Homo-oligomer: A and B are copies of this chain.
Amino acid sequence: MTLDGFSAVVDPATTGNEMYRFVRELYPLCRSITGNGVRKTLDEIKTHIPITVHEIPSGIQVLDWTVPKEWNIEGAYIKNLNGDKIVDFVNSNLHVVGYSVPVKQTISLEELKGHLFVDPEHPDWVPFRASYYKANWGFCLSHNQLMSLTDDEYEVCIDSSLQAGFLTYGEYYLPGECSDEVLISAHICHPSLANDNLSGIAVVTFIAKLLRNFPLHYSYRFLFIPSTIGSISWLALNEQHLSKIKHGLVIACVGDPGKFTYKKTRQAETEIDHAISHTLRHSGRQYDIEDFSPYGYDERQFCSPGFDLPVGCFMRTPYGKYPEYHTSADNLDFVRPECLAESLVQCLLALAVLEDKEIDVNQKPKGEPQLGKRGLYRGYPNGGVDDLALLWVLNLSDGRHSLLEIAERAALPFPVIKKSTDALLSCGLLRKTSNHRTGHTVDGV
């Protein structure tokens, strides 16, 4: 069974629950752009798919950047004059500004305030902050906590380390019948934030896990990388390889109940853009298609002008457009099993469209063939074949239209067109061509 038949073997409810459990396991880990939290996250991913873990040494030059020192943290707190830990890393890894340098001292409240970050609009929430490339330290806390600070002095302790080490990322290559690749990437550098981006990690992991069960046209490359420096590093190390990448998706923020959002590739109007737009149009749900912009996730790097890869970004509510974004409220309540499952299904639907390279030719192109005598007219034995879809497929199967183009022009969902195509192939009214949808070289075929 090719990927277009995935819905027969994937139960969204079951898979949604599995993905949610996976998010829950990953949630407590303290990830950053380097360090042991990333390694533990990759270990968890390995329980699902056989990723390769890469370790890039600190100090290595990657494009215009340098791999930073590795950051790890054992604990951190703010103690009041009574000796109570009023802010403690044990309670939430968000409490420490990512990449904080080590500190242990007693300082005045006034001085301390220069190192504290809050979200006054949501006084109960703890914001997420990091300072990767500028040495600094700080704490994040709720605005209410901040308001309750009345002592003159506080003891602050951050038991972190910044040392020559490694930048760690995971990669999984799933070979298909041709060496052209689809790149699918999630960022793995955020601590306890469920939607941004444990949801993305879960959906990408499960796409990979499910694709292993199908014969594939394309080879697939899955990346689990820290934002920016991770994609920069991967691009730097794989530059000679990039021409293989024919389509790509960055997947992030896909566990909330918001509407789907797809941000197009820089090139726009590529196959991945059309495939996702088509499947969203027929999803029966609200969605937005946004033009490319150079702000966002790792598509910024993949779509930089020197690479210009056809990589789009698939989300539900986009970064910065939901109040919980980059706060403690992006938690396990904000992400839902059924939302993860819907996101997975949308991605699989679009990949099934990409996978289909079929271009068929109507063998009776002059006039309509008589469908009735082939049992295809208003009463196809297997049922469910749409008369109008049959007519559209026959009319447009002139060797110049892909199934996706036929589906678009007919304003019918791809699976409906596919089913009609299969029926017409069975009775000989269509024949597959050796043409493929794109001019890409297909190896081993």
Task: Please determine whether A305 and B133 come into contact, CB atoms closer than 8 angstroms.
Answer: no
Q: Let me know if A261 is at the binding interface, CB within 8 A.
A: no
Task: Please determine whether B367 and A301 come into contact, CB atoms closer than 8 angstroms.
Answer: yes
For residue A362, which residue of chain B has the nearest CB? B305
A225 to chain B, nearest CB (A): 13
List of B residues within 8 angstroms of A305 by Cβ: 362, 365, 394-398
Instruction: From A197-205, A228-236, A335-343, give the one contacting chain B.
Output: A228-236
Contact of A133 among B232, B235, B370, B388 (CB under 8 A): B370
Task: Please determine whether B235 and A306 come into contact, CB atoms closer than 8 angstroms.
Answer: no
List of B residues within 8 angstroms of A149 by Cβ: none
Task: Please determine whether B395 and A294 come into contact, CB atoms closer than 8 angstroms.
Answer: yes
Task: Please determine whether B369 and A64 come into contact, CB atoms closer than 8 angstroms.
Answer: yes
Task: Please determine whether A370 and B307 come into contact, CB atoms closer than 8 angstroms.
Answer: no
For residue A372, which residue of chain B has the nearest CB? B133
Task: Please determine whether A392 and B294 come into contact, CB atoms closer than 8 angstroms.
Answer: yes
For residue A231, which residue of chain B has the nearest CB? B367
List of B residues within 8 angstroms of A392 by Cβ: 293-294
List of B residues within 8 angstroms of A398 by Cβ: 305, 308
List of B residues within 8 angstroms of A397 by Cβ: 305
Task: Pick from A134, A300, A305, A388 the residue with the most CB of B within 10 Å.
Answer: A305
Task: Please determine whether A133 and B395 come into contact, CB atoms closer than 8 angstroms.
Answer: no
Task: Please determine whether A367 and B65 come into contact, CB atoms closer than 8 angstroms.
Answer: yes
List of B residues within 8 angstroms of A64 by Cβ: 364, 366-370
Task: Please determine whether B295 and A388 come into contact, CB atoms closer than 8 angstroms.
Answer: yes
List of B residues within 8 angstroms of A301 by Cβ: 367-368
Task: Please determine whether A368 and B133 come into contact, CB atoms closer than 8 angstroms.
Answer: no
Q: Let me know if A143 is at the binding interface, CB within 8 A.
A: no
A307–B397 alpha-carbon span in the complex (Å)? 13
List of B residues within 8 angstroms of A133 by Cβ: 370, 372-373
Given A133-B372, A372-B134, residue A307 in contact with residue B367 (CB < 8 A): yes
Q: Let me know if A442 is at the binding interface, CB within 8 A.
A: no
List of B residues within 8 angstroms of A306 by Cβ: 362, 364-367
A320 to chain B, nearest CB (A): 12
For residue A300, which residue of chain B has the nearest CB? B368
Task: Please determine whether A367 and B303 come into contact, CB atoms closer than 8 angstroms.
Answer: no
Q: Let me know if A63 is at the binding interface, CB within 8 A.
A: yes
For residue A429, which residue of chain B has the nearest CB? B64
Binding site for B on A (CB under 8 A): 63-65, 133-134, 228, 231-232, 235-236, 239, 266, 293-295, 300-301, 303-308, 362, 364-370, 372-373, 387-388, 391-392, 394-398, 410
A and B contact pairs by CB, cutoff 8 A, 5 listed: A239-B366, A294-B394, A294-B395, A304-B367, A305-B365
